[in-house]
Amino acid sequence: MRNWPLRWKIAHYSAGLAVAATLGGAITTWFVMRHAEIAAFDRRLTTDAQEFFRDVEHFEGGRTNSGPVFKEILVPLSLRNHLVEVTDATGAVLYLSPRLRQPFPRDGIKEFHNHKIDGKKVRVAEFSENGLTLRAGDDLKEINQIGRDIFLAMLGAIPTVLLITLFGSAWVASKAIAPVEEIRQAAKTITAQRLDQRLPVPPTNDEIAGLIEVLNATFERLQRSFEQSVRFSADASHHLKTPIAVLRAGVEEILVDVNCSESTQARAEGLLHRIHHVSSVVDNLLLLSRADAGRLELSKAEFDLGEVLEGVLDDAFILAEPLGLKVEADIPKHLLLNADRTFVAMIAQNLVENAVKYNIPGGRIRVEARAVNSTVEMIIGNTGDGIPKDRTGQLFERFYRVRGDERVPGHGLGLSITRELARAHKGDVELVRSDDSWTEMRVRLPRGV
Amino acid sequence: MQILVVEDEVGLARHIFRALTQASHELTIVHDGETALGEAEAKHYDLIVLDVMLPGMDGFEVLRRLRGAKMDTRVLILTARGEVSDRVTGLGLGADDYLAKPFAMQELVARVSALGRRFPEKAPMKLQVGDLVLNLADRALYRGTRRIELSAREVTLLRVLMREPGRIFSRTELCERVWEREHEYGVKLVEAFISRLRKKIDSPPLIHTVRYLGYTIREPE
């Protein structure tokens, strides 16, 4: 039920409540009815008893010294159908109604109370006047029957109540939730690239309108801080480039300065390469911040992926040699792709670089490329220890390196950049396999031709 | 050549000044856009080296006003952004060439002297150093009459060297020119490809190592 739509959750809760209410109503009604019926029963018997005594009192010539005279005819007709017993002052039984087969047991209680006679519950009371005692009562069969009928009638209504509330409240709930669905659809279109979008605020003044206003304010703040952070890294990268240019020019001057000793020049050459590295990191950060802002510009043109891979494989063969790695390639002669050539080359270069870096001595590298329908697939696999299962999720995170091994060069931006570049082309990079013998990455790019 | 350099970073301006003066150009250096416009109107310059990121009026605006005032002085823009949009904006506004920071100073010198030629050179169909001929159309390399097969990277590397025979390229610069972005093993690769090229080209040697500086290609003396 947790995963049900809200509409049906509300409907089910309402239906449950309605059934419970009906049940509660039935029980209460039954209880109140029974009480009222019993009170009426008591009243009826009391009135009949009083009528009986009045008749005895006024019966003509009935009065003797020893007290009133009992005559069966004086018992009211309405009483005769009940259980009735009349005794005189000595306790001798003067009358038993037809349904009463033996006198009531004597218990001395006058008010209405329950008695067991012949295993049946009987409600009985005792009235005394002028030496005569009338005991009248009856079982509550009729009252019980009425109660049961009312109760069953209400139970019988439950399925109807259930159905009506179930569908009724589903309808009401879906009407109430309709604006929420609209919010959901509108919010779905708000992405990092379109953070300036806002949800339409309905003209109503209800909770939904309030919620949308709060959401819009949140998007506003989100957009501002996102833009700030994107602008910050872009600005920071830009402002780093000029000082790097100064550094570089300075180091290059030492390199060509004939007055400098050879060892100084050797160190300068090393520094020059460090500067090149710093400059690449800045380039990469700039590229990532552009990608984050959705403003990575692609300069697309048609080119042969085979040619690009040829260069990348050229590097791989050179690097593989001293490590004793075997490089296998399966690349078609012509594989035209309409994309940003530089970026696609970066993707291939990054992945092949990793395949060399994280390999084992005497291992293997395999590079494949092929057209699959409207996409181009590049598969780069290598032998190696593999990426631990619990780390694969972080693989594409920035500055993340699986083993933190200082001996392996790199700054941990390669894979995240690779993925951003592929995604900028509406493609992707995935890890398709990684165990202790083989790791394989797959790049998919739309051919665009 | 009379060159106006517009660069707000004093340190970089000084390095540019030294490098271009050494290449026997006459330089004037200014640090902001307004001064640059005034200077360009007051005096004739053969070339303006213009930084895009300037305080106040930026380089693009300076370029727009220069072209608006019908001044056709050649302009080389220095952009801090290697992005497509800046290159396109700059060239669209009428810049003649662009260079992304950080650049190799020798590259700037080479670009400046290329822009100084009265007629822009046509892209050559083949490059030649001594009896070594690289045909750019079909990537065929000949030493005399002997044909030499080259791999993709070898062609790119040799092309960079042969475009400017005699110029010394540092390993770093070669890394930048041959690979799309920094390659982790760039230096190692440059050395490996150079040694492969040397073996293929054979003697007499044309590619020379200049200790600590890098490599150059030139005819044997």
User: Residue A267: what residue type?
Assistant: R
Tokens of A116: 């067991």
CATH number of the domain at A207-292, please?
A: 1.10.287
Max mean pLDDT range (A126-130, A185-189, B24-28): B24-28
Across the interface, do A269 and B171 touch by the CB < 8 Å criterion? Answer: yes
CA-to-CA distance for A158 and A25, rounded, in angstroms?
11
pLDDT digits over A229-276, tens only? 777 776 777 788 888 999 999 998 888 888 888 888 888 888 988 898
pLDDT at A257: 83
B16 part of contact set with chain A, CB < 8 Å: yes
**For B205, which DSSP code?**
P
Q: Is the pLDDT of residue B220 over 90?
A: no
Options 3.40.50.300, 3.40.50.2300, 3.40.50.11600, 3.90.550.10; which CATH number does B2-116 get?
Answer: 3.40.50.2300
Mutation site, A278, A314, A418, interface B, largest B CB count within 10 A: A314
List all residues 6 or more positions away from A391 whose beta carbon is below 8 Å from its beta carbon.
Answer: A402
- CATH 1.10.287 in chain A is located at 207-292
Query: Which of A33-37, A56-60, A404-408, A411-415 comes out lowest in average pLDDT?
Result: A404-408
Q: Is the pLDDT of residue A318 over 80?
A: yes
Q: Is A175 buried (19+), middle (13-18) or exposed (0-12) by CB count in 10 A?
A: exposed
Residue of B nearest to A296 (CA): B83
pLDDT digits over A319-350, tens only? 998 889 999 999 998 899 999 998 999 999 99
CATH number of the domain at A300-446, please?
A: 3.30.565.10
Kindly report the CATH class assigned to B126-217.
mainly alpha
Q: In 10 A of CB A90, how many CB atoms? A: 6
- CATH 1.10.10.10 in chain B is located at 126-217
Looking at the complex, report in whole angstroms how far the Cα of residue A170 sits from the nearest Cα belonging to chain B: 55
Q: Is the pLDDT of residue B108 over 90?
A: yes
Looking at the complex, report in whole angstroms how far the Cα of residue A265 sits from the nearest Cα belonging to chain B: 6
Q: Is the pLDDT of residue A298 over 80?
A: yes
pLDDT band at A46 (very low <50, low <70, confident <90, very high): very high
Q: Tell me if the bond preceding B102 is cis, omega within 30° of 0.
A: yes
Please provide the distance, in angstroms rounded to a whole number, between the alpha carbons at the two ends of chain A. 48
pLDDT digits over A73-108, tens only? 888 888 888 889 998 888 888 888 888 888 888 887
Q: What is the CA radius of gyration of chain B?
A: 20
Q: pLDDT exceeding 70 applies to what percent of chain A?
A: 94
Do A434 and A387 touch, CB atoms closer than 8 A?
yes
Residues of chain B with Cβ-Cβ distance to A256 below 8 Å are: 213
Q: Look at chain B and count its residues.
A: 221
Chain B, 101 to 130: residues with Cβ < 8 Å from chain A are 101-106
List all residues 6 or more positions away from A166 whose beta carbon is below 8 Å from its beta carbon.
Answer: A11, A12, A14, A15
Consecutive H or E run containing A356: helix A341-357
CA-to-CA distance for B111 and B77, rounded, in angstroms?
11
* Alpha helix stretches (DSSP H) within B5-69: 10-22, 33-42, 59-68
Q: Which of B9, B186, B193 lies at the smallest CB-CB distance from A246?
A: B9
Max mean pLDDT range (A142-156, A432-446, B107-121): A432-446
β-sheet with A83-87: strand ranges across: A93-96, A83-87, A132-139, A120-129, A113-117
Q: Which of A248, A256, A310 lies at the smallest CB-CB distance from B152?
A: A310
Q: Is the pLDDT of residue B211 over 60?
A: yes
A349 part of contact set with chain B, CB < 8 Å: yes
pLDDT digits over A160-178, tens only? 989 999 999 999 988 888 8
User: Residue B152: what residue type?
Assistant: A
Please report, to the nearest 10 degrees, the dihedral formed by the alpha carbons of residues A392, A397, A398, A399 taken in order: -30
Q: Which of B170, B175, B188 lies at the smallest CB-CB distance from A255?
A: B170
- CATH 3.40.50.2300 in chain B is located at 2-116
Residues of chain A with Cβ-Cβ distance to B104 below 8 Å are: 248, 252
B211 part of contact set with chain A, CB < 8 Å: yes
Looking at the complex, report in whole angstroms how far the Cα of residue B156 sits from the nearest Cα belonging to chain A: 9
B182 part of contact set with chain A, CB < 8 Å: yes
CA-to-CA distance for A299 and A11, rounded, in angstroms?
55
Q: Is the pLDDT of residue A395 over 70?
A: yes
Q: Tell me if the bond preceding A388 is cis, omega within 30° of 0.
A: no
